[in-house]
């Protein structure tokens, strides 16, 4: 079973890197392999064949339901069914809904954005909306998470915004039990209500960014998830309530049904699903008097979960949950005399082992690990397990039953209050650790470093005696040291994919300059924090040597605070900040082999609108030149040309994201670029680049690279010239909408 499960899941997971999705008919080619594997009793080949067939059938079915370009650009009056609890956004509300479009014979799951109501729809209700659809999109960058993977993992086929062609109205249905339970929770006078709601019903929207960072820094984020601990604890409590009858089949079946109801009520998170499936397997084995090892039970549970929906491998929950359980099983195998040790030794060693393994998973998925995780978990996990979680679960169950008999809410309130006090104590302990100890180790490992780390860990586990283990530990610790990278010859420019914003990095001789810092949705979650800082750290930089913010518009300056909080910044040039150095025509400096010249604005007032006061920079170095225009518009372009400044450059970062207000004929004729780079959002509100801009570029034979189509764009300058590469070309994936540079 173990070999079958590993082969099947690995084959399905390989689809994460497929450049194209083969047709379902190709899955039939795996049928002879499956029959041959069954004949030869080769479980690894059988698992691979089954995984290939499941992936091709299910992923093709998902792809056929994706929103297409033909469905966009106009309003659709349709009925929809609300599937998930609404989440607050800076525009209003967003929620997942099941939608049917009769004119396109289309049926799918959409993420709907609605900005016009203080009382959002609830799961279980049917509404009529006027929708404007948009395909599933996401930022495509070298380091940060690919949101298109998230769309696949959630089974979302696109997004939609509520238009005003008709008045939205509720047609039928009542709020689901989960939404009613959430409504009851919101009425409780609790200091840490969002955390308790996350524990009981899996709703994490109300947790602010500071608290999330605290749990991440201390390695305790797993406490906020509906995990196997919740499920096992509830199942055990139900069997205890059954007393002596817990051995009887009806008691086990009733307990499983109630636990299944809780998993459904709590949102059906993957860790809870995995725990529920394992409980069902254990119950079936016990009822049938069969024996199956713990590792095989885990393997069978994962096989069932993946077989039901292969898209689960595109999310992180399966890997984090299965990895944690697998780490426990490996630990028990490494220390077979575990049960003979004193309880405190068992607890200490297992916590250290889990902190090490979870730290490796954290580095793999989040590029960082917590240094205080062992101590934080030793202090907080017992409090959560024996105090907070039991009281919160019982209080939540009483709240749910109060829908039938309201007086039960009076019994739930004191229990939830006691759980709330436990949460307060846990947060105080975590804050003490965060304030007085170094918390986070950032590791941006390459693929080669990961392979070496896995090989060293495997050798460390198999090695016998400290004479062999010590050198392996030393080599593993050497990987943790952030060794500086040797600078590449020439210079490199990367236009990162940050949607309807701008962010450019320039590297030369071990130094880095950043031009504009992208947008900000809320503090701590800007594109600077999510995209720029991970990219710079993976490239080996610990500070930004030069930072230029072209002007004050939020899509160019919004990430400044996050960047300064996360990385040291050398020299900052920004005309809208009183404490920064001015960015004025005539300024120039060197960045390694690159000469940086400021061409605009002039050293006087009268540059026009804020867009026309953008800091325009020309880069000159071995192999070519590049112009960075900010949001300079037609008036500013004309005034810039009139100054007689040298504008010729082989590459041009088009002004204002490809808006028709910029990149006019006279500027293009003065610069004479061979390639124009456009930073904009795919299917954004303004539909950039404007067709007139594209026409002007094509008339002059200027090639176009577009972050909305190609993802992040990298240009490498050497003595021999320049070469452009896009992330879509370097890392093609079937779930990305990519094209070659025209």
pLDDT digits (tens, 9 = 90+) for 450-506: 778 778 877 876 777 667 777 877 887 777 776 666 778 899 999 999 999 999 999
* pLDDT score, position 606: 46
pLDDT in tens, 11-35: 999 999 999 999 888 888 888 888 8
pLDDT band at 715 (very low <50, low <70, confident <90, very high): very high
**Is residue 516 over pLDDT 70?**
yes
Mean pLDDT, residues 649-661: 96
3-class SS of residue 650: coil
Output the pLDDT for position 740. Answer: 59
Q: How many residues does the chain have?
A: 742
Cis peptide before 732 (omega within 30 of 0): no
Q: Tell me the pLDDT tens digit for each residue of 264-316.
A: 777 777 777 777 887 887 777 776 667 777 778 888 888 988 999 999 999 88
pTM beyond cutoff 0.85: yes
Q: Which domains does the chain have, with CATH numbers?
A: 2-64 (no CATH), 69-175 (2.40.50), 178-442 (no CATH), 447-480 (no CATH), 491-730 (3.60.15.10)
Q: Lowest-confidence range among 25-29, 398-402, 430-434, 611-615?
A: 25-29
pLDDT band at 404 (very low <50, low <70, confident <90, very high): confident
Which residues have C-beta within 8 Å of that of residue 564, sequence separation ≥ 6? none
Of residues 613 and 257, which shows the higher confidence score? 613
Find tokens 């400021």 and name the residue.
598
Q: Are residues 228 and 385 in contact, defined by beta-carbon separation less than 8 angstroms?
A: no
Q: How confident is the model at residue 254 (pLDDT cuts 50, 70, 90)?
A: confident
pLDDT at 739: 63
CA angle at 241 for the pair 258 and 247, rounded to the nearest 5°:
85
Percent of the chain with pLDDT over 70: 94
CB 470 within 8 A of CB 656: no
Name the range with the highest mean pLDDT among 213-217, 471-475, 634-638.
Answer: 634-638
C-alpha span between 530 and 551 (Å, rounded):
21
HSE-CB for 461 with a 13 A CA cutoff: 15
Check pLDDT > 70 for residue 538: yes
Which of 247-251, 366-370, 432-436 is predicted with the least confidence, judged by mean pLDDT? 247-251
Residues sharing a CB contact under 8 Å with residue 243, sequence separation 6 or more, in sequence order: none
pLDDT one-digit tens code per residue, 596-609:
999 999 975 545 56
Look at residues 577, 580, 586, 657 and name the one whose alpha carbon lies nearest to residue 616. Answer: 586
Greatest mean pLDDT among 162-166, 523-527, 643-647 lies in 643-647
pLDDT given at position 35:
86
């Amino acid at each position: 079973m173990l070999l079958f499960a590993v082969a099947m899941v690995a084959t399905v997971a390989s689809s994460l890197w497929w450049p194209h999705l083969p047709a379902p008919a190709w899955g039939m080619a795996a049928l002879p392999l499956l029959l041959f594997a069954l004949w030869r009793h080769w479980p690894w080949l059988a698992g691979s064949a089954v995984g290939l067939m499941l992936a091709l059938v299910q992923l093709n079915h998902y792809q056929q339901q994706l929103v297409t370009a033909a469905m966009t650009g106009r309003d659709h009056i349709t009925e929809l069914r609300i599937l998930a609890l609404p989440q607050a956004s800076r525009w209003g509300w967003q929620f997942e809904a099941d939608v049917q479009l009769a004119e396109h014979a289309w049926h799918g799951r959409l993420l709907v954005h609605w900005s016009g109501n203080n009382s959002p729809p609830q799961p279980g209700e049917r509404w009529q909306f006027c929708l404007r659809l948009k395909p599933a999109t996401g930022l495509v960058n070298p380091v940060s998470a690919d949101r298109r993977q998230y769309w696949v993992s959630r089974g979302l086929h696109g997004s939609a915004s509520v238009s005003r062609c008709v008045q939205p109205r509720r047609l039928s249905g009542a709020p689901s039990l989960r939404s009613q339970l959430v409504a009851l929770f919101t009425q409780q006078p609790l200091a840490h209500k969002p955390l308790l709601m996350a524990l009981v019903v899996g709703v994490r929207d109300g947790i602010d960014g500071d608290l999330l960072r605290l749990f991440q820094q201390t390695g305790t984020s797993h406490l906020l998830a509906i995990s196997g601990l919740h499920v096992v604890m509830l199942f055990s409590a139900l069997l205890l309530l059954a007393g002596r009858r817990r051995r009887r089949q009806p008691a086990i079946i009733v307990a499983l049904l109630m636990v299944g109801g809780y998993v459904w009520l709590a949102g059906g998170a993957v860790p809870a699903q995995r725990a529920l499936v394992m409980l069902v397997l254990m119950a079936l084995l016990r009822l049938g008097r069969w024996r199956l090892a713990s590792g095989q039970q885990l393997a069978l549970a994962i096989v069932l979960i993946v077989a039901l929906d292969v898209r689960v491998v595109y999310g992180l929950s399966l890997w984090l949950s299965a990895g944690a359980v697998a780490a426990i099983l490996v630990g028990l195998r490494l220390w077979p005399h575990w049960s003979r040790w004193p309880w405190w030794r068992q607890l200490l060693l297992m916590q250290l082992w889990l902190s090490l393994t979870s730290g490796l998973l954290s580095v793999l998925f989040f590029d960082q690990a917590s240094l205080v995780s062992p101590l934080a978990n030793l202090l907080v996990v017992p409090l959560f397990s024996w105090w907070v979680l039991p009281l919160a679960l019982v209080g939540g169950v009483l709240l749910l039953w109060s829908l039938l008999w309201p007086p039960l809410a009076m019994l739930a309130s004191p229990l939830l209050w006691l759980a709330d006090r436990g949460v307060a104590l846990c947060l105080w302990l975590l804050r003490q650790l965060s304030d007085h100890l170094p918390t986070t180790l950032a590791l941006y490992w390459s693929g080669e470093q990961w392979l070496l780390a896995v090989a060293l860990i495997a050798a460390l586990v198999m090695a016998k005696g400290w004479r062999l283990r010590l050198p392996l530990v030393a080599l593993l610790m050497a990987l943790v040291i952030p060794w500086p990278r040797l600078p590449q010859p020439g210079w490199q420019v990367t236009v990162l994919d940050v949607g309807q914003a701008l962010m450019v990095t320039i590297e030369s001789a071990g130094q880095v300059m950043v031009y504009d810092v992208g947008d900000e949705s809320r503090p701590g979650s800007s594109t600077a924090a999510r995209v720029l800082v991970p990219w710079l750290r993976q490239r080996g930089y610990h500070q930004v040597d030069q930072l230029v913010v072209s002007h004050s518009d939020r899509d160019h300056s919004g990430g400044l605070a996050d960047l300064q909080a996360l990385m040291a910044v050398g020299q900052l040039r920004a005309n809208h900040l009183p404490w920064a150095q001015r960015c004025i025509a005539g300024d120039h400096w060197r960045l390694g082999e690159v000469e940086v010249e400021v061409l605009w604005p002039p050293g006087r007032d009268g540059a026009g609108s804020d867009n026309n006061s953008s800091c325009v920079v020309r880069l000159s170095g071995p192999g070519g030149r590049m112009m960075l225009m900010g949001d300079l518009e037609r008036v500013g372009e004309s005034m810039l040309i009139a100054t007689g400044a040298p504008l010729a450059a082989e590459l041009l970062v088009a002004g204002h994201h490809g808006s028709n207000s910029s990149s006019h004929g006279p500027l293009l004729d003065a610069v004479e670029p061979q390639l124009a780079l456009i930073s904009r959002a795919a299917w954004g509100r303004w539909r950039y680049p404007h067709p007139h801009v594209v026409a002007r570029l094509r008339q002059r034979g200027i090639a176009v690279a577009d972050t909305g189509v190609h993802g992040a764009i990298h240009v490498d300058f050497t003595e021999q010239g320049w070469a452009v590469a896009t992330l879509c070309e370097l890392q093609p994936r079937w779930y990305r909408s990519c094209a070659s540079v025209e």
